Amino acid sequence: MTKTGGFFRDLLRFIILTVVIVVPIRAYVAQPFIVSGVSMVPSFEDGEYLVIDELSYHFREPVRGEVIVFRYPKDPSKFFIKRVIGLPGETIKIAGGQVVIKMGETEFTLNEPYITDHNLGAAEETLDKGQYFVLGDNRSMSLDSRAWGAVPEDNIKGRVLVRLFPLDRITLFSKSSS
């Protein structure tokens, strides 16, 4: 066999192996996402390159505090990135710059060290099964559940797993410490 024939056979083997490994991972496990806009500043900046974990939510529900990527409920062709604030069955009340979570008789004020802008406006919403209340970290510049309501669970694509770019901000995010 010629060197050229061996090269093309190895190249074909590499391409097939790449497709067999990369396509299922990209389709079912992880997907790239580029942040567009300032709604998540300072946690995530415009243009940052993230990897989204699409597998975890097949085994568990989203956790308060996780940053998720989801299909915008008003236009499912668009993807948004926001932080999970309210979980199914809870009532979320926003007033006086604070977020209060109520579930049954239990009520607490959310501690949000990741935000610098406490201009929240006012809102109140009770979530049904399979609904999540999400907010951007840059509250005054975020179009979120205050404007269009809860995110259905079926719209959630996944959670932020890794920030890959810019290189000086590479971060691996744990389950709920986004």
CA 122 to CA 140: how far, in whole Å? 12
| Residues 75, 76, 80, 82, Cα dihedral to 10° | 100
Select from 153, 147, 87, 104 the least CA-distant residue to 123.
147
Q: Which of 43, 82, 142, 145 is catalytic?
A: 82
User: Exposed, middle or buried: residue 116 (CB in 10 Å: 0-12, 13-18, 19+)?
Assistant: exposed
How far CA 49 is from CA of 9, 16, 32, 36, 132, in Å, comes to 34, 27, 7, 10, 24
**Annotated active-site residue in 39, 43, 142, 178:** 39
Respond yes or no: is residue 82 known to be catalytic.
Answer: yes
The kind and range of the H/E element at 96 are none
Concatenating the DSSP letter of every residue in 27-85 gives: HHTEEEEE--SSTTTTTS-TT-EEEEE-SGGGTS---TT-EEEEE-TT-TTSEEEEEEE
Active site residue 43: no
Residues labelled as active-site residues: 39, 82
